[in-house]
Amino acid sequence: MLYLVPTPLGNLKDITLRSLEVLQSVDVILCEDTRTSSKLLTHYNIHKPLSAYHQHNEHKILQHVVDQLMAGKTMALITDAGTPGISDPAFLLVRECNRNQVKVECLPGATAFVPALVNSGLPINRFLFEGFLPIKKGRQTLLKKLAVEERTMVLYESPVRLVKTLQELIQYLGAERQCCVSRELTKMFEENIRGTLQEVCNHYTAKPPKGEIVIVLAGTDMD
């Protein structure tokens, strides 16, 4: 049995009682970063064997993990924050579990794009989640597609690349396109900056951001 367990984005209270029960019950907890996960687990007095599972080693250890699951072990997969599989490792393991008839269960819980989308003030009846834009190959092609997308769009970005990405979005989507940039969701210094792409870009050019970033963009239906 493999459980996919969402973990808090920042506020340690944002974890479900069921998630805590599962983490207490499994044989092994797979962690994106064992040091980061240890802080959460220690806070809730959970002491289980931890094993690193991240984008740099998932191909190498995938079969070993599946073999352990098929041998009867119960595992939980967690990431540094949010729901496994949403711009974080999980897909390869879930696919391999499905191929080998290993039961997989995903618990509901924290996912960064949901609060960012809901509090953006933009239409959320239809939306497109793109995650992180390609760094190089395919970036311009995707930006051209986003320029004519009718649905509200959600992107993830790092603080060091935010201003550059906003400048590119201005180039392809126009300076007047409405957007909201959410930063440090659920944490003490949570910030949601709304306005046109130009206004938001100006804000972060003057005040370089820190923390995790979610960009929510209006679709062409809002033009």
pLDDT in tens, 127-165: 999 999 999 899 999 999 999 999 999 999 999 999 999
User: Token match 């949403």: residue?
Assistant: 86
Residue 81 to residue 8: CA distance in whole angstroms: 5
Task: Give the per-residue pLDDT at 31.
Answer: 97
- Residues 45-62 have pLDDT tens digits of 999 999 999 999 999 999
How many residues are recorded in the chain?
A: 223
Confidence of residue 223 (pLDDT cuts 50, 70, 90): low
* Contacts for 26 with CB less than 8 Å, ≥ 6 apart: 3, 48, 74, 75, 76
Q: What is the CATH number of domain 113-222?
A: 3.30.950.10
Q: Is 22 exposed, middle or buried (0-12, 13-18, 19+ CB in 10 A)?
A: buried
222, pLDDT greater than 80: no
* Contacts for 160 with CB less than 8 Å, ≥ 6 apart: none
Domain ranges of the chain: 2-106, 113-222
Residues 87/121, Cβ–Cβ less than 8 Å: no
* Mean per-residue pLDDT over the chain, rounded: 96
Q: At what angle do helices 91-99 and 58-70 cross, to 10 degrees?
A: 40
Nearest to 5 by CA among 32, 26, 23: 23
DSSP element (H, E) containing 61: helix 58-70
Interval 78-98 mean pLDDT? 96
Residues 2-106, CATH architecture = 3-Layer(aba) Sandwich (3.40)
* Contacts for 64 with CB less than 8 Å, ≥ 6 apart: none
Residues 134/142, Cβ–Cβ less than 8 Å: yes
Whether 113-222 and 2-106 are alike in CATH topology: the answer is: no
174, pLDDT greater than 60: yes
| Three-class secondary structure of residue 174 per DSSP | coil
Confidence of residue 221 (pLDDT cuts 50, 70, 90): confident
Task: Give the per-residue pLDDT at 90.
Answer: 96
Task: Give the per-residue pLDDT at 202.
Answer: 98
Interval 63-85 mean pLDDT? 97
Residue 32 to residue 55: CA distance in whole angstroms: 8
| Three-class secondary structure of residue 10 per DSSP | coil
66, pLDDT greater than 70: yes
Residues 94/88, Cβ–Cβ less than 8 Å: no
Q: What is the dihedral of CA 31, 32, 35, 39, to 10 degrees?
A: -70
Interval 72-83 mean pLDDT? 97
Degrees to nearest 5, angle at CA 195 with 86 and 149 = 55
Residues 66/100, Cβ–Cβ less than 8 Å: yes
Interval 90-95 mean pLDDT? 96
